Structure formats: C-alpha cells, structure tokens
Amino acid sequence: MDVAYDWNKLRPPSKLKDFEAKWSRRSEPLEFSGVWRFRELFPFANDSDILTIGEGQTLCQRSDYVAKYTGMNASRVFLQYEGMNPSGSFKDNGMTGAFAHARMVGARRAACASTGNTSASLSIYCAASDLRAIIFIGSGKISYGKLAQALDHGALTVQIAGDFDDALARVQQVSKQLGIYLVNSINPFRLEGQKTIMYRVLEAFNWEVPDWILVPGGNLGNSSAFGKAFIELMELGLINRCPRIAVINAAGADTFYQLYERQNLRWQGGRYEQTLVDSYMRGLDASNARADTIASAIEINRPVNLPKGLRTLERCGGVVREVTDQEILDAKAKIAAGGLGCEPASAASVAGLKKLRAEGIIGADERVACILTGHQLKDPTATVAYHSADPKMFEETLGKRGVRRANYANRAVQVPNDLDEIIKAIDVYA
Ligand code: F0G
C-alpha cells in the first residue's frame, strides 16, 4: 500500500528553497521538527494529530576522512547522521508519521516486530503520548542498547523463540486479530516520514541532487521511502533528475542482493516476477536458512518492502551490494575515527561505497551521501569486541561470524597502578 496525493487539489511548494525559511519559525514545534517542516510534501495529517518530539534534527556532515578510506576524492563524501534522532536512529522520522495516522484512526495500542530500533522508537513515542507500545523481538537478537530503551520507556516486550522474520510474521497476525495499530515499515505512513531524510540531504547539498545515495538494506523501508521521495519530487518538477541509489545488504542477510543482482528480479512497472520471490523464499524455508550478521539491525531475510525497493532501483538507476561483517566493522571503526559514531548496520553504507568505488561503479569525483542510520551507543558489544584485546570476547562475538582481524582496533592499554608506569605509557602511545 502506498500513500498517493492528488496534487491538483493540494498546494505543493513551488521550489524547495522555500523550506529554508521555515527554520526562522522554529519556535513552532512542527517547524522545528526536521520531518514536519516538510509536511507540504506529505500532507496527509491534520496538525492537531501530529506528535513531534524533535525528530529529524540531524546532520549531513562532510567527511574527507571517510572519502580517503573509500577511495573517493576530498569533499565528495557526506554522512547523513540519523543517530541524532531522539531515540538514536532514523526510525523516528517514520514513527512520527505513523503516529499521526494512528491518532487519526483513534488507535489505543501500537505494535511492531523489531531488530531493536523500531521498538525503541515506538516505545519513546508511546511514552510521550497515551498509546500503549507492544513490541515483538526475536530471542537473543537485539542489542542491549535497544532493549534497554524499550524496557525503560515502558513497552510491553514480547520475546518470542525465533528471529526477526518470525516476529514480523507473528506481529502481523496478532495485530490483525486484536485490532492493534501496526507500525512496521509495511505501514505506508512510516515511509512518508522517512522521505524527509532525503529532503534534508538535498537541503545540505543546497538543493542540488547528489550523484549517489548509499543506504543499508534490511526491511527496505528506507530504500522504498527514498525512491518515493525522488519520484514525487520529479513529478512535481522540483528536481530534474534522481540520484542513483545503492542498497547495501549484509552478506549474512542478502535476499535483496541475491534476487536483484544474481537472479535479475526487476520491478517492471509493478509486474515483477512474484514466482521468483516465492521460490527464493521456499529455498530459505527448505534449508532452514536464517539471517546471520553482526549488523543485527539488518539481520533480515524476508524484507517486507521488497516490491517498493525494486521500484526505487528501477526509477533511480539503483544497484545492490552485499558486504561482509569484516567490511562492516572496519568501515564502522573508520567512520568513528573520523568523528561520527554509528552502529554496525549503518556502516554497511560506507563499506558499500568502498566496494562500489573499487568496482569503478562510483567515480572518485562523484558526490555521495551515505546514510548512517543508527547511533554508536545502540550496540556497544560489537564495538568493544572489535577493539578489545581479549581474544575470547573477539571470538565469541565476531570470530564466529568470519571476522578475522580488527584492522583498525584501538586497544586499551593495560598499566600497573603506578604513576611512573602510567606516565611512561602515555609518552609511548600519545
Ligand atoms: N539501519 C538500522 C540502524 C536499522 O535499525 C534498520 C532497521 C536498518 C538500517 C534497515 O532499514 O528496514 O529500512 O531497510 N531496523 C528495523 C528495526 C528492522 O526493527 O529496528 P530498512
């Protein structure tokens, strides 16, 4: 399901630059919101139904450090840092959209299945309003940072014996049976809010369209929303070309990569080959294949937005790549050493840039925006294991997933509790 607008009856903006003026009215909460200040581009809600908690105040930061790491020229790489959202991930962009709709239909309870960030976001919006949050998580499949948020914000947390794909199937059944409002990205109003990530990228590029957007792919909500944003801006005559979009899967959860790049599945104006998808999924069932990656946020084998993701690729000249956990963690360490902290899934975008640059698909002088979807503190376990000098911790967390070396580890220095020894160590290392 898609949200469509009859632009003939609405008043879309005549130029994107006009949005800049909204900032001068930031004492009004809806103009302060980095999502709702663009609401003329997704005008489905009454202002009175909107709950904003300051989402979308995010940064698009130039990173020459990451440019160097990925083989790009200086001043060409920008990182769209969605970790700055109230719940620490891009999900708040969409959650505020879904929440507006939930209020429009008078929902009292809202549910999601989650690898952690959707549940954190839902929990925080529910805590700030009078809706009750119900979250479904797979067992042992959620990082502590995210679980902590759901528990702390008071969500009813249902841990089922299974993974995310199982939890998503169940939450859809349960929501239907109990009449609970579902906020997974299958909900089209979520995607309307997530379109604004692209408006903010355009704003950071002074309303010029960059050459590439790189985004991690899990359930493909972002990939779908970004494509829709650009398709609509084209239709409205507000931009004259779409950027190319690269969706980056983790190698341990690479359904989209397999279907698009290996099996040639294409959108074909909506007539995509469903039989190809069905047979791929049956294959997963038959071999009992489970997604497995350190990037737990994108540990998903059955993306619900697969068709819309295909639409994005067709309309935006897209590509899909997969990156290993080794590549993800090395990229994450480099992003952090350059000054922005993200969780493993987010670093897939930068690892994907490095790969596409090495393949010559992205030119060194093209302008790119990598989306950093979630905050570094969401998943401290992966980070500490990477930097740790403790081989047991490394092996248990990363080694078993094929990570061989922490190429950019920053190890803690062990020193005796002795002033001279401490001073000596500092002289050696800094
Ligand atoms: N990055 C992060 C940090 C995420 O949490 C997710 C998805 C993605 C990327 C993938 O985005 O689904 O739009 O392709 N997390 C979901 C969750 C599944 O439950 O929090 P997508």
Rounded to whole angstroms, how far apart are CA atoms 26 and 166? 42
Question: CA 367: distance to chain centroid?
Answer: 20
Residue nearest to atom 12 of ligand 1 (CA): 219
Rounded to whole angstroms, how far apart are CA atoms 298 and 296? 5
Q: Is the CB of 324 under 6 A from ligand 1?
A: no
Interacting residues of 31 by C-beta distance below 8 A, sequence separation 6+ = 22, 23, 25, 37
Segments in 84-183 forming alpha helices (H): 91-104, 117-127, 144-152, 164-178
In a 13 Å sphere around the CA of 93, the CA atoms on its Cβ side amount to 31
The residues that bridge with 180 in the sheet, in sequence order, are: none
- What is the reported pLDDT for 309? 98
Is residue 50 within 8 Å of 36, Cβ to Cβ?
Answer: yes
Q: Is the CB of 298 under 6 A from ligand 1?
A: yes
Q: Is the CB of 217 under 6 A from ligand 1?
A: yes
Rounded to whole angstroms, how far apart are CA atoms 64 and 419? 38
Ligand 1 atom nearest to CA at 216: 9
- What is the reported pLDDT for 415? 95
Q: What are the DSSP calls for 155-197, one per residue?
A: -EEEEESS-HHHHHHHHHHHHHHHTPEE-STTSHHHHHHHHHH
Ligand 1 atom nearest to CA at 89: 3
CA 218 – ligand 1 centroid, Å:
6
- What is the reported pLDDT for 140? 78
Ligand 1 atom nearest to CA at 117: 20
Domains and CATH numbers, the chain: 1-89+189-430 (3.40.50.1100)
Residue nearest to atom 15 of ligand 1 (CA): 297
Token pair belonging to 136: 């479904």
Rounded to whole angstroms, how far apart are CA atoms 65 and 306? 33
CA 113 – ligand 1 centroid, Å:
11
Q: Is the CB of 296 under 6 A from ligand 1?
A: no
- What is the reported pLDDT for 59? 94
Q: Is the CB of 143 under 6 A from ligand 1?
A: no
Q: Is the CB of 194 under 6 A from ligand 1?
A: no
CA 143 – ligand 1 centroid, Å:
13
Residue nearest to atom 6 of ligand 1 (CA): 297
3-state secondary structure of 334: helix
Q: Centre a 10 Å sphere on the Cβ of residue 242 and count the other Cβ atoms it contains.
A: 20
- What is the reported pLDDT for 187? 97
Is residue 311 within 8 Å of 318, Cβ to Cβ?
Answer: no
Question: Ligand 1 pocket check: which of 114, 195, 305, 373 to mutate, most ligand atoms within 8 Å of Cβ?
Answer: 373
Residues 192/193/198/204 CA torsion (nearest 10 deg): 150
The series of mean pLDDT values per 10 residues for the chain, 430 residues long, is 94 94 93 97 97 97 98 98 98 98 97 96 96 93 92 96 93 97 96 98 98 98 98 97 98 98 97 98 95 96 97 97 98 97 98 98 98 97 92 93 95 94 93
Query: CA 10 → CA 1, 6, 46, 47, distances in Å?
Result: 21, 7, 14, 15
CA 297 – ligand 1 centroid, Å:
5
- What is the reported pLDDT for 389? 79
- Structure confidence by residue, pLDDT tens digits, 337-368: 999 999 999 999 999 999 999 999 999 999 99
For the entire predicted model, the pTM comes to 0.97
Q: Is the CB of 345 under 6 A from ligand 1?
A: yes
Ligand 1 atom nearest to CA at 217: 14
Q: Is the CB of 96 under 6 A from ligand 1?
A: no
Question: Ligand 1 pocket check: which of 81, 185, 298, 372 to mutate, most ligand atoms within 8 Å of Cβ?
Answer: 298
- Which phi and psi (to 5°) does residue 134 adopt? -125, 120
- What is the reported pLDDT for 141? 77
- What is the reported pLDDT for 430? 87
Rounded to whole angstroms, how far apart are CA atoms 88 and 377? 8
Interacting residues of 2 by C-beta distance below 8 A, sequence separation 6+ = 188, 228, 308
The residues that bridge with 109 in the sheet, in sequence order, are: 132
Ligand 1 atom nearest to CA at 121: 20
Entry field: residues in the chain? 430
Is residue 396 within 8 Å of 107, Cβ to Cβ?
Answer: no
3-state secondary structure of 244: strand
- SS3 helix, strand, coil % of the chain, rounded to 5? 50, 15, 35
CA 426 – ligand 1 centroid, Å:
40
